[in-house]
Chain A
């Protein structure tokens, strides 16, 4: 048996990480075989999958089939899974710091971002079994009916993720979307996709069922059109994608009356980023009626 050489890490040849996409709990390459090479300071940071419309379709299929079972998990269970994501992030925080640095962040800023990502995940973990109580109502109708309104997840939500905040913005936007039982297809930050894919590795090892979150990398302007026109997508969260893009998405989304959320949020600001109304944005209000029998102790009404 050959003994491993006792070389220091600096002397050995680095194994470069291959960044793939995250669809249905797996890490496939794009079916198109295409790639692009985002650059930081004039230097390519990696070869990244350039997702095709077909990848988008596959991701939506994965998200759609994962949605009803995810929504039927107990709120407590979804809460625990979001908490587990935070735990896994914590354990791998150094890796995220390093990747954010590759993507051009200073060490201190990278650490702040990673810590904030962990904190926000915990924040939304806590909301999973509480937001319903905040936004639901029992409605005192003027007839003999029990009438209540609850929130239900909208369905499949496409996130056009932050182009400025590659890890925190992504995770912070995903958390309120999935907290209520939606599933999500995220288009990662085009120029800084590395931490998005590594975040998926965290998701994959966090008990999050396959398909609940799917992440595509590639060209925003190419993918957003297909997302906005896709008839099996229920909502789009657009995270500061620029006015022309937003207008195009809105127009395309009319095909099946998608809900469009224009996220005007500074993810570094706790007051904006920690917000249960972000959960509500991706929910539908369902109102249920049922008769109430009218028999009192005096028998009146009978």
Chain B
């Protein structure tokens, strides 16, 4: 494992204007007919259906779990979403509600969303979620420490959390909206990957801007560099702000052109979203029927 302090100089610089230009070019891609249907189904299968509200209740979580398994029953042959994403205290409930569907339960942890507590409490938070049966843990990095230049602290913390995850896969939320520059996003990505994160994830959804294509591209490039160097794949999860099918398709184009086909799978790529699924469903039904759809015909949970 590289010495954490080495991250201060090993991350390559990022030119923001160049990244934005490149991201825009993905958006000129036009996805039509069969490839569109294929893409839309892929998006559904990659969604982490999320509820992370202070007012979450068992009822709300149960509804979401039902939705996850029955996206739009009037359309046959749809995939299910990849996972349900909830707070730790709803993990057991979600696990029960999802039964033997293959849908995973992801839990945020580590004093989500701020991450401002002690390492011990964070680790307890993680252990609790894992004990309740969480398949995946979405942690937040300590942005304050990161900005203070304590990259070693950030690295060690991620490594400890990874350790506490046991068999559960770890998604490391960088909260890019608080990192300020693409150079920092790149550096944080490199730290998270080196410390053992199975996924890197843009945002908590509580801070704007959340996921953007340029930010995601910078993170994908970090994943690619790691793959080129080590042959190890790391997953990516943009979260927050991706609410329509067209944008999600452009994300998939970006993943394919940056990382390749191997990442076009929900084991390696996820969308953290609450309202994306319905827009994708509307597009699928439109493709099938030829008629533009209304939101009234798609259940909101």
Residues of A at the B interface (CB closer than 8 Å) are: 144-145, 291-295, 299, 301-302
Contacts and interface: CB of A to CB of B under 8 A. Distances in A.
Interface string B196-213: 000000000000010010
B181 A294 contact: no
Contact of A302 (B15, B18, B180): B180
A291 B19 CA distance: 11
B16 interface: yes
B209 A291 contact: no
B181 A144 contact: no
Given A295-B180, A295-B181, A302-B16, 12 more contacts: A144-B17, A145-B17, A291-B16, A291-B18, A294-B17, A294-B20, A295-B16, A299-B177, A299-B180, A299-B209, A302-B180, A302-B212
A55 to B, nearest CB: 51
Nearest to B209: A302
Contacts of B180: 295, 299, 302
Given A299-B209, A302-B209, A291 B181 contact: no
Contacts of B18: 291
Most buried by B among A144, A292, A302: A302
Contacts of B16: 291, 293-295, 302
Interface of B: 15-18, 20, 177, 180-182, 209, 212, 215
Contacts of A291: 15-18
Contacts of B20: 144, 294, 301
Contacts of A292: 17
A293 B18 CA distance: 9
A291 B20 CA distance: 11
B26 to A, nearest CB: 17
B181 to A, nearest CB: 7
A302 B180 CA distance: 8
Contacts of A299: 177, 180, 209
A302 B175 CA distance: 13
Contacts of B181: 295, 302
B95 to A, nearest CB: 37
A288 B226 CA distance: 34
Contacts of A145: 17
A302 B212 CA distance: 9
A144 B182 CA distance: 16
Nearest to B214: A302
5 contacts: A294-B17, A295-B180, A295-B181, A302-B182, A302-B212
A295 B180 CA distance: 8
B17 A293 contact: yes
Contacts of B215: 302
A295 B20 CA distance: 12
Nearest to B176: A302
A73 B118 CA distance: 60
Contacts of A295: 16, 180-181
A294 B18 CA distance: 11
A291 B181 CA distance: 15
Contacts of A301: 20
Nearest to B208: A299
Nearest to B185: A302
B136 to A, nearest CB: 28
Nearest to A302: B209
A292 B20 CA distance: 12
A302 B208 CA distance: 10
A145 B21 CA distance: 12
Contacts of A294: 16-17, 20
A302 B216 CA distance: 12
A267 to B, nearest CB: 50
Contacts of B212: 302
A228 B215 CA distance: 56
Contacts of A302: 16, 180-182, 209, 212, 215
Nearest to A299: B209
